Structure 1
């Protein structure tokens, strides 16, 4: 299946799963049979539900991506809600939300689906896809929090015992590599079809590549803490076969529906940004400057000035040429709300409208409509990311993995620019612009890691948790903290999420042990194991 092709059966499935989620998940246990397992749940539907929720759930995408991670890596800013990640205003509820939504829903479903299919040879592919998906959802959790409940995640929370132990992140990662290796090897196109799969419509060859590419991503997390392990695992992932074409990308297609806290068919990240009378979010000036200073051809397509159209954001009037002619590319400064750094009004002529007064807010550049449309795709893992990670691996360890670091770097740039065309209404940027951009950004001696990870930072735009993880593990780009007097809780960019207060109250013994292993304090300026 090509990435741009919508699975015709997807949306009826997701609609049914929305209803299932709010009518069935709270009655998951059957104490007469197995306290962690429903007697009639279909594992294929559990998989589809978890896939849909990953990018379709509004609450977690809003709190984690829009409020916290995208402002933290200085891609998004301006709005009142950006203070939590952008100015480091500590809000425990927002740091807790992924944990409190994932464990009783996504973790529960995936652990159960893996268990339910384990001894069923007729569902071998489904079993191994669920193992891969289980790693994927746990990776997001441990990368944000550090040590987490893993081996007892389902039995601890859902078998009448609400005090599961925390596994060390090093041990969790070791199991990730084992699970991805075994699952990708066991997948077999000659075995069972997995038609409810929302990512690849059951394409086993692509699932193998996704597992191996995810393995590569996680291997590169360890470059600071365990470089030899990182190198070995990265090479293993590559040898088994990672993404090689744009056809391989892991993409979730969403429906053109305004998402809400019950419906997961639309893009939850989009809904978190576009909901409301007018859109408050702006590009961070840090991000805008980085693209402008490298002559990035994506800038003019992803960053736009608009005349607002209340509650109908897709019908906003694009006045980018007129405003750019006066102010260029102006986002929100690091540490500012949209009303800070106030701009005086000026007038432009807009075809069909006439003279239009461009006030302060309209002079702070916004995300283009196609990026935040309700049916915008969510890019889970891309060819661009894989190529740029291979570029770093080749540079760090002197490897040739079907090309040296410069070859992978250039492939990564091209893939990242071309992936914008995967969006509905996204631009197709010409070969000449791509060629010129590569010529303008040749890897400079001594700056290889900085330049490779600059490209990753840009390629991971709209995937806040992953951009945040890559910034922490690589150290690039070098960001100046967005400290704001009277708001900020710390002068440092936070390095993790703090645990929910419910863990301190209900699982104190294991919570305390986890803190000892992580350095003694549950503080968002502390570092997870791989970030040491």
Structure 2
């Protein structure tokens, strides 16, 4: 009897397993699983994650190298290598991966061309942040791990990356088509689905990239700049490339490039504070405050640049937590003011005709007026702006002095956009406060240990073509 029961169970077992197997896939499929992401949700996620925790490198490395801030315990020129890695380690596997996913899923689909074009411009922008910081980096194969199984992307030469970014943006600009499926206004946090503004932004980025290569290949730079200006760049502050964040959200506290400056006790440098104070710059009270919240320009005091300083922290200026250093403060990736400054530079170089002085003053005025995005405490009275502009000296007949003044104003404008401030200093050499600093300040960031551990051969190839993986190796466009 017992044997018969066991035999019956064994006979029934396959039937039971077959029944389980029949519904196994359905039972184990998550109702929340997304196999085809919704592009309308992907676009704003990418825009909000253009920094994605890379603020660690933003503050602890690039902000210091910009010479505008430093930690109160910093007494050298170089930070630890770990602080250089966050930009690379957070942007590639997250932001760049997501934007490449959009590109891969929409390419070749005529109805989705506007999503593809928007993502292509954002990819070029994100890659530019990587290559300007590190030099040769993954570009052509970046972000293709999920879509094409490229787990160990090759590193492209920076010169080729620049050619690729410019071509990619131009192709995207030409592809926008109002007759095809629209990117919803709510999905596009930057331009609300306005493709004309995206085109202006794309050409403005090309203008930036063209001027970036002005030392290493001036003739090519000239042609790129001329075409960008001809094709149409930003014309007003409303055209600026700005991401706004809602308060008390993940993106405002974690993904925002403004996050954490005061939390980690960063101070504004004496050279930055003194420059603004001596010029009676109306932006000083917007940029800075004492730890007690006092924004009076006369009491602001900076921490000595790259020196030990025993001054009480209570007496040293920090980023203003009511404006720039708010966790939910908007972040300016590129502004109309920068376009005006670059236009003035092109005119000073004789590449295009026009009044460099006029565009220079438009750039200063635009940047001061743009401070309104930080709220009431960012507004500057028109009379103060007018007085400041009148006090500026910009003599086109003295190009050396004019370039210095132009580059100084650009450096001030890049407050908080420290990726650009560091790149700007390397390209122009302005400001120059101390020859010892000029001689010893980093020229690039080193590759993260994670890349050495997992993508070793490609990293080795990169340093073979670029130079040793150290902070004093110059990137392609940073010609002496």
TM-score bin (small chain)? 0.7 to 0.9
Structure 1, gaps ≥5 residues long: 1-37, 308-317, 343-359, 484-489
Q: Tell me if 1:515 matches 2:463.
A: yes
Mapping for residues 342-357 of structure 1, pairs under 5 Å: 342=311
Indicate the residue corresponding to 1:362 in structure 2.
314
User: Quick one: which of 423, 426, 442 aligns to 1:494?
Assistant: 442
Indicate the residue corresponding to 2:235 in structure 1.
244
Find the aligned partners of 2:69 and 2:59 in 1 and give their Cα distance.
8
For 1:370-429, what per-residue CA distance to the aligned partner results, in whole angstroms no more than 9, with x for missing partners? Answer: 2211221111110111101111111112422xx421111010010011111111233322
How many Å apart are 1:296 and its aligned residue?
1.4
Verify the 8 A CA contact 1:288 1:299 in the aligned structure 2: yes
Find the aligned partners of 2:98 and 2:351 in 1 and give their Cα distance.
42
User: Quick one: which of 259, 263, 288 aligns to 2:273?
Assistant: 288
Q: How many residues align?
A: 439
Higher alpha-carbon deviation: 184-193 or 102-111: 184-193
Q: Tell me if 1:419 matches 2:405.
A: no
Q: Tell me if 1:233 matches 2:224.
A: yes
How many Å apart are 1:120 and its aligned residue?
1.4
Q: TM-score normalized by structure 1?
A: 0.78
How many Å apart are 1:300 and its aligned residue?
3.2
Q: TM-score normalized by structure 2?
A: 0.86
Find the aligned partners of 1:49 and 1:515 in 2 and give their Cα distance.
33
Find the aligned partners of 2:436 and 2:380 in 1 and give their Cα distance.
33
Indicate the residue corresponding to 1:487 in structure 2.
none
Verify the 8 A CA contact 1:256 1:373 in the aligned structure 2: no
RMSD: 2.2
Q: Tell me if 1:92 matches 2:56.
A: no
Verify the 8 A CA contact 1:295 1:440 in the aligned structure 2: no
For 1:140-174, what per-residue CA distance to the aligned partner results, in whole angstroms no more than 9, with x for missing partners? Answer: 01111111111122346875553322111111111
Higher alpha-carbon deviation: 263-272 or 145-154: 263-272
User: Quick one: which of 158, 163, 167 aligns to 2:156?
Assistant: 167
User: Quick one: which of 189, 200, 206 aligns to 1:215?
Assistant: 206
Indicate the residue corresponding to 1:462 in structure 2.
416
Q: Tell me if 1:269 matches 2:263.
A: no
Q: Tell me if 1:450 matches 2:404.
A: yes
Verify the 8 A CA contact 2:262 2:319 in the aligned structure 1: no
Larger-gyration structure (1/2): 2
User: Quick one: which of 33, 46, 61 aligns to 1:50?
Assistant: 46
Structure 2, gaps ≥5 residues long: 1-33
Mapping for residues 146-165 of structure 1, pairs under 5 Å: 146-155=135-144, 159-165=148-154
Q: Tell me if 1:503 matches 2:451.
A: yes
User: Quick one: which of 109, 119, 124 aligns to 2:98?
Assistant: 109
Find the aligned partners of 2:423 and 2:346 in 1 and give their Cα distance.
17
Instruction: Return closer, same or farther for 1:459/1:111 CA change in 2, 3 Å cut-off.
Output: same
